[in-house]
């Protein structure tokens, strides 16, 4: 690699240079002494004749000094000149790069904010989420009993502290209308675990954390801005929550979004609280902060050992296993695959853009043969020329990535609104890291795109180049350029295949048989708190009253309640047992439990297949099971008349199975129905959805319903009004995001590949004009010319498609978990993609081919 | 000292150095001495131009250098022609001959 050495040559050491010059002066002195001078006089003459030693040394040093700055400046100057001289070419390159680097930086900014950066808390890697599992039943009990949390805090050796909280919606009624706010109740050690202090105001005092102490509430930055317009004098003002006054003691920092970004308020759970203290009452979400140096695995082992001890001590309630997971992993883990998939595709796009630019630069440097030959003959070294060509590419890449950053900034807004469902999406910003990243991108692009053309372009030295014009050149074969076109096509096919599969799967999701009718359903919630669940009778009356009012509203056909929205991922699986007994060999009765009103089936139009609908009486409870339940646990035998009881939940059962309903995709549109038991509990609780079947468009009824409810429940706020369909599309938001973006990248990739094909073929046609003219003059038909060029373009595309097909088949397995209803190697999709690519590339090849056939033989031959 | 000195034509110094070095390994002082002697004291090379030129040629790979002992026993840097340098010398020589011939031709015929 001699060009490398010539860019960074060895420096002659100063000491060697000194002794070389000293030798010269000695010799001169000897010469003068021999001529008869006195030694002193001879030395003087020698020094005089030699002249300025320092100046000489400096000039010798100059030979070696790379004069990097000077050279770079000169190169930059010439690069700017180059851009001015060929604006169309450069704008093409810059725009291509801006698009590719911009998209890449935008996706990287999301990855950086969501996956790479630590959570916005001090030493956030010490934070873990602790959950408990009941290994005996299939129930996934993730919450923890407060008493158990106290035990953990007392016994562990790996945590600085563990804290628990739970959240519920309350009605805040100091304003004109009651407003629903989300309040998190937090246990002691809360601030110690998060490592945060309120951005204004103070933490809770010990008095506020004890039973019957003063009330206190901390509010979120969001709530402070929304409700109080960021009033600096907010501290000490009161909120009325469920009728009780709570003074605001502080405002939390904006980055604090726990339990989720909806959280508005935090209140302390008094430490002496006696209700809800039983060991089987699991209602805390537990967050722990590890001791410095302690690992998640150590904490897992530590809590595991403690829990085994507790299990011996309290065999009834504490035979549990404990899981400890990094909080960040738990928060962002679900989006990892989607994000890396997007990053992979956007990097492929960048690769295609680079290939395109290599092709452009290659044809450019072919045109610049003469310029390069002249520079060679003027004594430029090959290294210097390569440096100059690379500087040009770098300048283009730099301008491209600068423009790309603007695009990324604009795109990050779009991304944030598209990806509103992703965790941490509010942390996506364009910061110095992203600028550095796109700078690194442009460096990589420079070498990726610039090196090959620069080395090839400077390969033929001045031998012949100066004298030769391309006049009589006949052949225009450039295997490298066609290879590049082929690579672009192959990569575009790969991306398109991925996008095609995601689109197909999205389409399949829309076509799925849901088992219920979601059109014309309006869903909303009413603010409630868990304290109300103490008086079931009152709740029952309240629920009946609301449902009655809704049914009586003109324009409403029916109304029902359901804990959880049908069709949106939400599962409450437990193990049930059959009172009538069941063979040990039979599989456990693991069911999804839905708590609904009897009107649920009519409202959502879920057909009843056998028996009757459950009764909302005060007598023994009844349940309806779905068909999957009957089929998988009773194998066609009669189900009706059996009695179910929950293994772990006292209040659910025993209940008689009175009916079988059709299968509905309750737990998500993309999930097959699971065995389900519908418990008729016409009792609303926090988180319950009211579902109303309307005659007209659902949202048109929202205001009427809100007004009706204000009359009967003035203390509650009705909120979260949305058509049921809206919930589905929210549930599919991540799916849609990746489908949309991947399709966009794939379309961009295809157009880039087409531009590459078109450009290469056009260049080829230009170079071979004389040949074509000659052949036309000798009697070739224009159709033959078109066919020849068209075939040349299509043949390369065909090869690209074959390679792309293989690549796609190999890489679509990446998509396997993200698809619904299509296999990753779905042949129709892949064939459609290849057909599309061939059709588009046929158009891209046709234009230059037709241009070739229109060559005027006489004109061309006269030019000769 | 010579009575009349001529400045070297721009760009010819490199060629002269190559030519001298082509005779055998020689140090900087030797080169300046030979140019002086062979040109019968007409050409005088300034050391301020000689050494930068030597290093430039070495950097281009036309000269190779190594340290050795002079005939008086002093440490000196000896230059010799590389294969690349020989080629360069040939092309410069033929260029020069053409140029000199052309100039001479003009001077004679334009009288």
Q: What is the pLDDT of residue A649?
A: 54
Q: Is the pLDDT reported for residue A2 higher than 50?
A: no
Q: What is the pLDDT of residue B35?
A: 87
Q: Enumerate the residues of chain A whose CB falls inside 8 A of the CB of residue B55.
A: 12, 60, 63-64
B74 touches chain A (CB under 8 A): yes
Instruction: Specify if A772 maps to a domain.
Output: yes
Which 3 state secondary structure label does DSSP give A162?
A: strand
Region A296-302: mean pLDDT is 93
| Whole-number Å distance between alpha carbons of A276 and A283 | 8
Q: CATH assignment of B12-109, given 1.10.510.10, 3.40.50.2000, 3.40.50.300, 1.10.10.10?
A: 1.10.10.10
User: pLDDT class for A289, splitting at 50, 70, 90?
Assistant: very high
Q: Enumerate the residues of chain A whose CB falls inside 8 A of the CB of residue B75.
A: 19, 23
Instruction: Specify if A118 maps to a domain.
Output: no
Q: What tokens were used for A739?
A: 């489908």
Where do runs of H (alpha helix) occur along A621-693? 627-634
Instruction: Render pLDDT for B65-83 as a digit per residue (tens, 0 to 9).
Output: 888 888 888 888 899 899 8
Q: How many Å separate Cα A526 from the centre of its chain?
A: 33
Angle at CA A743, nearest 5°, toward A738 and A748? 130
Which of A11-20, A117-126, A841-850 shows the lowest mean pLDDT across its residues? A11-20
Q: What is the pLDDT of residue A474?
A: 42
Whether residue A259 sits in one domain with residue A151: yes
Query: Per the structure, how many domains does chain A have?
Result: 4
Instruction: Render pLDDT for A745-773 as a digit per residue (tens, 0 to 9).
Output: 898 889 888 888 888 888 888 778 888 88
Tell me the backbone φ, ψ of residue A571, rounded to 5 degrees: -130, 140
Q: How many residues does chain A have?
A: 864
Q: Is the pLDDT reported for residue A471 higher than 50?
A: no
Q: Is the pLDDT reported for residue A403 higher than 90?
A: yes
Angle at CA A64, nearest 5°, toward A61 and A69? 100
Select, from the ranges A469-473, A792-796, A858-862, the one with the highest average predicted confidence (pLDDT): A792-796
Q: What tokens were used for A373?
A: 């030959």
Region A799-821: mean pLDDT is 83
CB contact under 8 A, B55 and A64: yes
Instruction: Specify if A518 maps to a domain.
Output: no
Instruction: Specify if A47 maps to a domain.
Output: yes
Instruction: Specify if A751 maps to a domain.
Output: yes
User: pLDDT class for A523, splitting at 50, 70, 90?
Assistant: very high
Q: What is the pLDDT of residue A547?
A: 92
Pairing of strands A573-578, A200-201: unpaired
Whether residue A688 sits in one domain with residue A621: yes
Whether residue A501 sits in one domain with residue A427: yes
Residues near A220 by beta carbon (within 8 Å), at least 6 away in sequence: A251, A252, A256, A257, A263, A264, A265
Q: Shortest CA distance to A342 belongs to which of A571, A124, A526, A109? A: A109
Residues near A122 by beta carbon (within 8 Å), at least 6 away in sequence: A195, A196
Do the beta carbons of residue A773 and residue A853 sit within 8 Å?
A: no
Q: Where among A319, A354, A369 does a domain terminate?
A: A319
Q: What is the pLDDT of residue A780?
A: 85
Region A729-739: mean pLDDT is 78
Whether residue A546 sits in one domain with residue A498: no
B95 touches chain A (CB under 8 A): no
Q: What is the pLDDT of residue B4?
A: 47
Q: Where among A293, A319, A345 does a domain terminate?
A: A319
Whether residue A538 sits in one domain with residue A486: no
User: pLDDT class for A166, splitting at 50, 70, 90?
Assistant: confident
Whether residue A623 sits in one domain with residue A571: yes
Whether residue A589 sits in one domain with residue A623: yes
Whether residue A341 sits in one domain with residue A195: no
Whether residue A273 sits in one domain with residue A342: no
Instruction: Specify if A77 maps to a domain.
Output: no
CB contact under 8 A, A56 and B51: yes
Domain range holding A339?
335-509+733-863
Give this complex's ipTM: 0.85
Whether residue A584 sits in one domain with residue A505: no
- Closest CB to B29: pick one of A24, A64, A381: A24
Q: What tokens were used for A796?
A: 């390369």
Q: Where among A319, A349, A377 does a domain terminate?
A: A319
A618 touches chain B (CB under 8 A): no
Q: Is the pLDDT reported for residue A194 higher than 80?
A: yes
Q: Enumerate the residues of chain B whose CB falls inside 8 A of the CB of residue A461.
A: none
Pairing of strands A655-661, A622-626: parallel
Q: What is the pLDDT of residue A333?
A: 82
Best of A4, A14, A56 to substitute, by most chain B Cβ atoms within 10 angstroms, is A56
Q: What tokens were used for A437?
A: 């990243």
- Closest CB to A20: pick one of B28, B32, B52: B28
Instruction: Report DSSP letters for A293-322, one per residue.
Output: T--HHHHHHHHHHHHHHHHHH-TTT---EE
Instruction: Render pLDDT for A262-280 as a digit per residue (tens, 0 to 9).
Output: 788 998 887 766 666 677 7
Region A39-58: mean pLDDT is 82
Whether residue A590 sits in one domain with residue A694: yes
Q: Shortest CA distance to B17 belongs to which of B82, B95, B74, B76? A: B82
Q: What is the pLDDT of residue A137?
A: 55
Instruction: Render pLDDT for A413-465 as a digit per residue (tens, 0 to 9).
Output: 777 777 777 788 778 878 888 899 999 999 999 998 888 888 888 876 544 44
Q: Shortest CA distance to A71 belongs to which of A458, A394, A387? A: A387
A696 touches chain B (CB under 8 A): no
Q: Is the pLDDT reported for residue A6 higher than 60?
A: no
Question: For chain A, what is the mean pLDDT?
Answer: 83
CB contact under 8 A, B75 and A9: no
Q: Is the pLDDT reported for residue A346 higher than 60?
A: yes
Instruction: Report DSSP letters for A433-446, one per residue.
Output: HHHHHHHHHHHHHH
Best of B49, B62, B74, B92 to substitute, by most chain A Cβ atoms within 10 angstroms, is B74
Choice between A391 and A459, residue whose per-residue pLDDT is larger: A391
Instruction: Render pLDDT for B11-53 as a digit per residue (tens, 0 to 9).
Output: 688 888 999 998 888 988 889 888 888 888 888 788 888 888 8
Which 3 state secondary structure label does DSSP give A466?
A: coil
Angle at CA A773, nearest 5°, toward A769 and A776? 140
B65 touches chain A (CB under 8 A): no
Q: Position of tokens 């003027």? A: A378
A133 touches chain B (CB under 8 A): no
CB contact under 8 A, B52 and A59: yes
Q: What tokens were used for B61?
A: 């790979």
Q: Is the pLDDT reported for residue A529 higher than 80?
A: no
Which 3 state secondary structure label does DSSP give A718?
A: strand
Q: What is the pLDDT of residue A412?
A: 77
Angle at CA B69, nearest 5°, toward B68 and B73? 165
Instruction: Specify if A258 maps to a domain.
Output: yes
Whether residue A674 sits in one domain with residue A575: yes
């Amino acid at each position: 690699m001699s060009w490398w050495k010539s860019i960074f040559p060895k420096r002659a050491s100063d000491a060697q240079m000194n002794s070389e010059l000293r030798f010269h002066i000695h010799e001169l002195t000897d010469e003068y002494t021999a001529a008869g001078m006195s030694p002193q006089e001879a030395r003087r003459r020698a020094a005089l004749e030699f002249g300025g030693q320092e100046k000489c040394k400096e000039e010798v040093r100059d030979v070696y000094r790379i004069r990097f700055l000077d050279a770079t400046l000169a190169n930059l100057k010439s690069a700017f000149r180059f851009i001015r001289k060929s604006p169309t070419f450069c704008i093409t390159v810059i725009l291509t790069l801006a698009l590719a680097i911009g998209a890449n930086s935008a996706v990287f900014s999301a990855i950086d904010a969501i996956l790479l950066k630590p959570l916005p808390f001090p030493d956030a890697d010490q934070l873990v989420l602790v959950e408990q599992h009941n290994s005996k039943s299939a129930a996934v009990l993730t919450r923890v009993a407060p008493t158990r949390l106290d035990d953990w805090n007392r016994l562990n050796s790996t945590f600085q502290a563990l804290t628990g909280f739970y959240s519920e919606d309350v009605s805040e009624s100091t304003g004109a209308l009651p407003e629903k706010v989300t309040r998190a109740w937090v246990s002691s050690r809360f601030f110690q675990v998060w490592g945060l202090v309120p951005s204004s105001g103070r933490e809770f005092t010990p008095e506020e954390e004890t039973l019957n102490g003063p009330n206190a509430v901390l509010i979120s930055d969001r709530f402070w801005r929304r409700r109080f317009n960021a009033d600096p004098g907010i501290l000490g003002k009161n909120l009325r929550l469920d009728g009780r006054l709570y003074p605001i003691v502080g405002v939390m920092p904006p980055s604090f979004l726990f339990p989720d970004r909806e959280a508005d308020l935090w209140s302390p759970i008094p430490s002496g609280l006696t209700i809800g203290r039983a060991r089987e009452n699991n209602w805390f979400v537990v967050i722990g902060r590890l001791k410095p140096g302690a690992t998640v695995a150590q904490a897992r082992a530590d809590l595991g050992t403690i829990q085994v001890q507790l299990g011996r001590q309290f065999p009834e309630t504490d035979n549990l296993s404990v899981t400890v997971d990094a909080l960040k992993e738990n928060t962002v883990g679900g989006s990892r695959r989607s994000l890396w998939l997007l990053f992979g595709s956007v990097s492929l796009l960048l690769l295609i853009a680079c290939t395109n630019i290599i092709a452009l630069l290659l044809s450019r440097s072919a045109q610049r043969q003469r310029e390069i030959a002249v520079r060679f003959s003027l004594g430029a070294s090959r290294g210097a020329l390569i440096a100059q060509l690379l500087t040009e590419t770098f300048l283009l890449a730099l301008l491209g990535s600068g423009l790309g950053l603007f695009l990324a900034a604009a795109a990050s807004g779009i991304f944030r609104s598209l990806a509103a469902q992703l965790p941490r999406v509010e942390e996506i910003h364009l910061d110095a890291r992203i600028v550095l990243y796109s700078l690194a991108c442009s460096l990589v692009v420079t070498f990726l795109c610039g090196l090959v053309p620069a080395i090839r372009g400077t390969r033929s030295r001045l031998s012949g180049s100066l004298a030769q014009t391309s006049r009589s050149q006949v052949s225009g074969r450039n295997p490298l350029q066609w290879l590049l076109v082929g690579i672009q096509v192959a990569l575009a096919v790969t991306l398109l295949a991925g996008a095609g599969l995601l689109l197909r799967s999205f389409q399949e999701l829309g076509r799925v048989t849901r088992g219920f009718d979601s059109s014309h359903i309006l869903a909303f919630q009413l603010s409630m708190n868990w304290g109300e669940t103490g008086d079931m009778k009152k709740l029952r009356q309240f629920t009946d009253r609301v449902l009655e009012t809704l049914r009586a509203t003109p324009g409403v056909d029916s109304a029902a309640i359901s804990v959880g929205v049908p069709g949106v991922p939400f599962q409450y699986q437990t193990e049930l047992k059959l009172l009538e007994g069941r063979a040990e060999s039979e599989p456990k009765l693991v069911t999804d439990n839905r708590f609904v009103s009897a009107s649920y089936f009519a409202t959502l139009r879920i057909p009843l297949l056998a028996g009757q609908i459950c009764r909302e009486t005060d007598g023994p409870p009844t349940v309806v099971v779905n068909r999957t339940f009957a089929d998988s646990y009773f194998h066609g035998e009669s189900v009706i008349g059996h009695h179910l009881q929950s293994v772990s939940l006292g209040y659910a059962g025993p209940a008689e199975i009175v009916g079988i309903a059709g299968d509905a995709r309750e737990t998500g549109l993309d999930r097959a129905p699971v065995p389900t038991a519908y418990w008729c509990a016409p009792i609303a609780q926090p988180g319950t959805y009211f579902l109303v079947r309307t005659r007209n468009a659902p949202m048109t009824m929202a205001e009427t319903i809100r007004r009706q409810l204000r009359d009967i429940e003035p203390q509650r706020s009705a909120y979260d009004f949305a058509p049921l369909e809206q919930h589905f599309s929210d549930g599919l938001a991540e799916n849609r995001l990746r489908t949309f973006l991947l399709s966009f990248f794939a379309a961009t990739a295809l157009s880039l590949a087409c531009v590459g094909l078109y450009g290469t073929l056009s260049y080829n046609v230009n170079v071979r004009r004389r040949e074509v003219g000659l052949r036309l003059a000798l009697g070739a038909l224009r159709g033959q010319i078109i066919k020849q060029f068209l075939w040349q373009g299509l043949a390369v595309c065909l090869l690209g498609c074959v390679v792309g097909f293989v690549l796609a088949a190999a890489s679509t397995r990446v998509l396997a978990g993200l698809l619904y209803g299509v296999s990753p190697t779905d042949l129709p999709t892949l064939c459609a993609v290849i057909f599309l690519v061939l059709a588009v590339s046929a158009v891209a090849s046709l234009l230059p081919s037709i241009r070739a056939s229109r060559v005027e033989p006489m004109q061309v031959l006269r030019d000769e | 000292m010579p009575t009349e000195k001529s400045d070297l034509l721009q760009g010819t110094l490199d060629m002269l150095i190559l030519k001298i070095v082509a005779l055998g390994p020689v140090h900087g002082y030797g080169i300046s001495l030979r140019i002086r002697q062979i040109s019968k004291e007409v050409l005088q090379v300034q050391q301020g131009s000689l050494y930068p030129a030597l290093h430039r040629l070495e950097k281009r790979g036309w000269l190779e250098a190594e340290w050795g002992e002079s005939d008086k026993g002093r440490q000196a840097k000896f230059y010799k022609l590389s294969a690349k340098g020989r080629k360069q010398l040939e092309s410069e020589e033929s260029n020069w001959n053409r140029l000199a011939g052309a100039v001479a031709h003009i001077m004679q015929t334009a009288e």
